[in-house]
């Protein structure tokens, strides 16, 4: 697993977090996130395609991309999604950012993690953010 670094390609033209081709899965704590990462690696998934985000990473690197309390208006839901990440991070949730560009990869990852306590999950596709958990 590699450490998270916010890259310019993970942002919209307006500067909001939108890592196309990635899944952003949140877990109640660090142990649950690391257990999920281990399950993926045990299944053969490349650990270099997985980043662990601590609550501090989420709040300082991801949440800051929406700016202050009133970001610029957006036609999409990317700012609302980032706000939800921040709410959970403030409660101590950790996240995994997983590169999974195809629908098949996304489905396989969700199958591997079916028994994991995912608190919130999103898949960033071109022009749409897909809910992965209910």
Name the CATH architecture for the domain at 15-69+76-131. 2-Layer Sandwich (3.30)
Residue 71's pLDDT is 44
Residue 68's pLDDT is 56
Question: CA-based angle 30:114:88, to the nearest 5?
Answer: 40
CB neighbour list of residue 71: distance below 8 Å, 6 or more residues apart: 16, 79
Segments making up each domain of the chain, as ranges: 15-69+76-131
The pTM (predicted TM-score) of the whole model is 0.91
Low-confidence stretches of the chain (pLDDT beneath 70): 68-76
Q: Alpha-carbon distance 70 to 121, whole Å?
A: 24
Residue 67's pLDDT is 74
Q: Alpha-carbon distance 96 to 86, whole Å?
A: 14
CB neighbour list of residue 43: distance below 8 Å, 6 or more residues apart: 112
């Amino acid at each position: 697993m590699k450490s998270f670094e916010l890259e310019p390609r993970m942002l919209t033209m307006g500067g909001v977090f939108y890592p196309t081709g990635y899944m952003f899965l949140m877990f109640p704590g660090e142990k649950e996130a690391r257990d999920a990462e281990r399950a993926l690696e045990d299944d053969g998934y490349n650990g270099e395609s997985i980043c662990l985000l601590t609550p501090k990473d989420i709040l300082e690197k991801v949440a800051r991309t929406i700016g202050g309390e009133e970001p610029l208006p957006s036609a999409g839901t990317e700012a609302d999604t980032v706000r939800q990440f921040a709410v959970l991070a403030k409660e101590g949730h950790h996240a995994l950012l997983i590169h999974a560009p195809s629908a098949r990869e996304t489905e396989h990852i969700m199958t591997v993690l079916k028994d994991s306590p995912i608190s919130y999950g999103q898949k960033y596709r071109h022009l749409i953010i897909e809910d992965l958990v209910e």
